[in-house]
A and B are shown apart, each in its own frame.
Chain A
Amino acid sequence: MAGPSSYMFVAAILFLIGAVGVVVRRDLIVILMAVEIMLNAVNLQFLAFARQLGQSEGQVFVFMVMVVAAAEAAIGLAFVLLLYRTRKTINVDNINLMQG
């Protein structure tokens, strides 16, 4: 059986894909998907460690992360919809009413 290191490696790659996606992509829905990929990387890592340690604490954490991810998706999509209705665009480059 593969040890936790290989799972950590896969999780790290997934997390990086997600993080780069958040920074690089311009479409709000794709950015939301990238955040979900990051959360899934975290879930994978939690499960790998829980399995290695023979505990259920990490698995419980994964359920909580899934609940939070679902709530986040609900709020995020509501915001995207609201923005699309008022501005007819969901590109981050057009969200610039406030400049510091």
Chain B
Amino acid sequence: MTAMRDAATRAGDRQPVPAGPWCDRCGEAAASGPHDGCAAARALEPPRYCAHCRRRMKVQVLPVGWSAICVEHGELRG
């Protein structure tokens, strides 16, 4: 649980950037190729996949911010 929380939003950042083996937008392996398109899209999207385990997360977008919950790795906020 704590690993993802530690990697979550840094003060002042608009988008948290969790590090992990999976792309948090498309759910493919982060090392499988460039994810430049995913990274660009993430400027205007919350994450959808847990970067640590590839599970689809429960994401709630709010007028200001969002939250994304992985059943295994906990909650991210942005």
The answer to whether A and B belong to the same complex is no
Using a CB–CB cutoff of 8 Å, the interface residues on chain B facing chain A are: none
Using a CB–CB cutoff of 8 Å, the interface residues on chain A facing chain B are: none
